Amino acid sequence: MKDIYSTFKYELNNTEKTRFTVALSGGVDSVVLLHLAKRFRDEFTHIEIDAVHINHGLSDNADMWQAFCADLCQQWQVPFKAYRVSVKKASRESLEAVARAVRYNALKAHLHSDSELLLGQHLDDQVETFFIRLKRGAGLLGLGAMKQRTHIENGLPVFRPLLGIMRKDIVEYAKVQQLSHINDESNDDIRFDRNFLRNKILPELNKRFKGFSNTVARVVNLLQSQQQLLDEYIAEDAKKCIFHQRFLLNEVIGFSRARIDNLIRYWLQQNNLVLPSQKVLDQVYQQAFNAKIDAQMSIECCGFAIKRYQDALFIVLPQAVPENQDNIGLSSVIIESQEFSVEKRAQGARAPFMDEHVNLRFDIGAEKFTLQHRNCTKSVSTWLKEAGIPPWQRPLVAGIYYNNQLVQVIGLGISKHAFAENGLCWQQKEANEN
């Protein structure tokens, strides 16, 4: 039997992290992973570990599995937390994909800022992922399957220390260590592509071709190396045309189609988003470069949209217009991760009178507004359009009102009628920004 613990210890010793969270489903892979983490913690006492279980409620045995994980962690003195989530699948959505997204969101909410999530995925999982991506027509990046250490779709930092270990070695380790685990009956349902590959196809391929799965794993590693080299070249291009969630189209005029496609994939990957299919990329390219400049482009992807405004593409995440906040005074307020605060400025809005409430409001596009330095009156929407603010961002722009009088559009300017020397100016920033 392969010395799995030595491999696990080597992988974790190559990181500066001292705190790890084990994703514990109760299956053999995650139970072995937790046992290895426990041994590592017992050997290196400065290491902290905990475990988290996500209860999807999709099986009649879900509560029993949660109880099993809780008992196991109590026995091994590992801090444990369980979360119950709701998996609601819309039409044409994959149950596996929806459950995975819900699971990862819950895991990210749980993860401590200095911790890394350990996943029990192994070499056989890697091979299955390769074939699933192959079936979908993935390119170089997709066929590279899973990376050992990465950030997945929602920015969750994950580490897969068992990615080079075959499942049969994990099962053998569990037997030798006399580890109990659960069996998820859904793993036998070959209606799911991964189970079909695992239970029907890959065993036959490994029987026919000795060492087939190991060979595929080596191919995956080679593809990842080639992608890494490609990424280094793409990163140089990206410095010219990619700025966070904005892709500047004028900067890639004259680039080949392949070069642009790779830049778009790189852009989405840097924002921790699920990469779209080649069919969707074709739509992005056609509408971005062949449509009229004022065309309303919006292409829906998995959990986000790609939109065009003027000469740029934008990543647009779903976001509801925040609720208005009345009578906030001059105190800072946090609304959906955004902090609104006021400071004194040489040029700003006058202070509110005693009988005036300070109100923070959104979706104010229809309001008429006279900017102090422009000395003319237009709707807020018109001002925002002239400022280059994309249409979908305009309802999110906040205004400061004294009672019902708009005195400032945050990020745009102060009303002429409320302007004052040595006045007040409201600012907006991320709540955790220093």
DSSP string, 327-357: --TTS-EEETTEEEEEEEEEEEEPPPPTT--
Least confident window among 16-20, 109-113, 310-314: 109-113
What pLDDT, on a 0 to 100 scale, did the predictor assign at position 194?
87
Q: Is residue 29 part of an annotated ligand binding site?
A: yes
pTM of the model: 0.72
Q: Is residue 27 part of an annotated ligand binding site?
A: yes
What pLDDT, on a 0 to 100 scale, did the predictor assign at position 94?
65
3-state secondary structure of 305: strand
* Rounded CA separation 173/171 (Å): 5
CB 274, CB 153: distance < 8 Å: yes
Q: Indicate the pairing of strand 368-370 with strand 242-243.
A: unpaired
pLDDT at 351 exceeding the cut of 70:
yes
3-state secondary structure of 227: helix
pLDDT at 99 exceeding the cut of 80:
no
Q: Is residue 337 part of an annotated ligand binding site?
A: no
The boundaries of every CATH 3.40.50.620 domain in the chain are: 4-217
What pLDDT, on a 0 to 100 scale, did the predictor assign at position 200?
92
At 378, the pLDDT band (50, 70, 90 cuts) reads: very high
The boundaries of every CATH 1.20.59.20 domain in the chain are: 244-316
Q: What is the mean pLDDT of residues 203-212?
A: 94
pLDDT at 117 exceeding the cut of 60:
yes
Residues 126-174 have pLDDT tens digits of: 999 999 989 887 888 889 999 999 887 667 889 999 999 999 999 999 9
Q: Which CATH architecture has domain 244-316?
A: Up-down Bundle (1.20)
Residues 283-342 have pLDDT tens digits of: 999 988 887 766 678 898 878 899 998 889 999 988 889 999 999 999 888 887 889 999
Helical ranges in 242-313 per DSSP H: 257-270, 278-289
4-217 sits in which CATH class?
Answer: alpha beta
Q: What is the mean pLDDT of residues 408-420?
A: 94
pLDDT at 1 exceeding the cut of 60:
no
pLDDT at 422 exceeding the cut of 60:
yes
Q: What is the mean pLDDT of the chain?
A: 89
pLDDT at 408 exceeding the cut of 60:
yes
Q: Is residue 26 part of an annotated ligand binding site?
A: yes
Residues 252-280 have pLDDT tens digits of: 999 999 999 999 989 998 888 878 878 88
Q: Is residue 184 part of an annotated ligand binding site?
A: no
3-state secondary structure of 310: coil
Q: Is residue 144 part of an annotated ligand binding site?
A: no
Q: What is the mean pLDDT of residues 403-417?
A: 94
What pLDDT, on a 0 to 100 scale, did the predictor assign at position 295?
67
